[in-house]
Structure 1
Amino acid sequence: MIYKVFYQERKDYNPKREQTKSLYLEAESEVIARQLVEKNTPYNIEFIQLLEGNHLEYEKENAEFILTEF
């Protein structure tokens, strides 16, 4: 499954919507996706969203869709 992870680059900053970034990740579950990001980055995870169906197709066509691998 493909997940879109919304995050702040550092955990010690106060989250601001304007500074939120995202990455795309393939994982078996949301829990595993969170574990991968926490283990391999210093990011402060805000939200993890499952992408499927039309939403996934839209992201592939209209966003900077690059799967992150750890």
Structure 2
Amino acid sequence: MIFKVLYQEHPDTAPVRERTKSLYVEAKSEREVRQKLSNRNINIEFIQELDETHLQYEKKSEVFEIESV
């Protein structure tokens, strides 16, 4: 499964929509995504499992790249 992770780069500051970034991770569960990203110093806001339709839409984006963690 592919998950979209919305996060802030600076974990100590309040989340601001305009600074929210996203990355894509392949994992079996949301828990596994969190474990894979636990060594990064980021503030995870939301993790969303992408269904096939949403995944196809995201793949059209110029910034779509699945993280290898």
TM-score, with structure 2 as normaliser: 0.92
Which digits, 9 at most, give the CA deviation of each residue in 1:6-65, with x for residues without a partner?
Answer: 000011111111110000000010111011112x31000000000121111000123511
Report percent identity of matched pairs. 52
Matches for 1:7-18 after TM superposition, within 5 Å: 7-18=7-18
Partner SS state of residue 3, structure 2: strand
Give the structure with the higher percent helix: 1
Structure 1 counterpart of 2:52: 53
Q: Which residue of 1 aligns with 2:6?
A: 6
Counterparts of 1:53 and 1:63, CA distance in 2: 18
RMSD of equivalent CA atoms: 1.0
1:28-39 alignment, distance < 5 Å:
28-38=28-38
Partner of 2:61: 62
Local SS of the residue matching 1:47: strand
Q: How many residues align?
A: 69
Q: Which structure 1 residue ranges, 5 or more long, are not aligned?
A: none
